[in-house]
Amino acid sequence: MDKTKQVKEKHKTPEFPKFGTGDTVEVHVKIKEEGKTRIQVFEGVVIKRKGSGSQATFTVRRVSYGEGVERTFQLCAPSIEKVKIKKKGSVRRAKLYYLRKRKGKKSKVEEKIERQTPSDALPRTEGA
């Protein structure tokens, strides 16, 4: 095995569900406190994704007690336990920096509605 394959194997990106900008996600993060390890959940809207491969990062924003909190995570960091998608967002931008200026209901992202394909639709009953 050559050295590039060894390095890629060592820094292999973990398998997470595919999520994008505008999606509401729960990020389960490992936190060490006083020799103990616990998992903390950070839930919010993904406002940007950057990079690819082992260098990929994403930023999650949420409003906590009236203050906007943004946290940037590295996708293949060992501190991330899992990423769970709560809602898919329907957005037309790659970076949602405009959400920083919005307050209240205006800061919400519209939910994407998945349409059924004809093969997924229920069969029609004849004579009804």
Mode of pairing for the β-strands spanning 57-64 and 24-33: unpaired
CATH number at residue 23: 2.30.30.790
Among 41, 77, 79, smallest CA distance to 62 is for 41
**What pLDDT does residue 124 have?**
62
Residue 69 above 60 pLDDT? yes
Cα–Cα distance measured from residue 79 to residue 72, given in angstroms and rounded to the nearest whole number = 12
- CA dist 107 to 11, 29, 62, 103, Å? 36, 25, 10, 5
Report yes or no on 104 lying in a domain. Answer: no
Report yes or no on 127 lying in a domain. Answer: no
Residue 128 above 70 pLDDT? no
More confident call, 76 vs 61: 61
Least confident of 60-64, 80-84, 106-110: 106-110
Report yes or no on 35 lying in a domain. Answer: yes
pLDDT digits (tens, 9 = 90+) for 1-59: 688 777 777 766 677 888 889 999 999 999 999 999 999 999 999 999 998 877 889 99
| Residue 33, domain extent | 13-93
> How many domains are there within the chain?
1
Report yes or no on 18 lying in a domain. Answer: yes
More confident call, 119 vs 24: 24
**What pLDDT does residue 106 have?**
81
- The runs of H, that is alpha helices, within 1-128 are 3-10
Q: pTM, whole model, 2 decimals? A: 0.76
Report yes or no on 98 lying in a domain. Answer: no
Report yes or no on 47 lying in a domain. Answer: yes
**What pLDDT does residue 12 have?**
67
**What pLDDT does residue 84 have?**
93
Mean pLDDT for the chain overall: 85
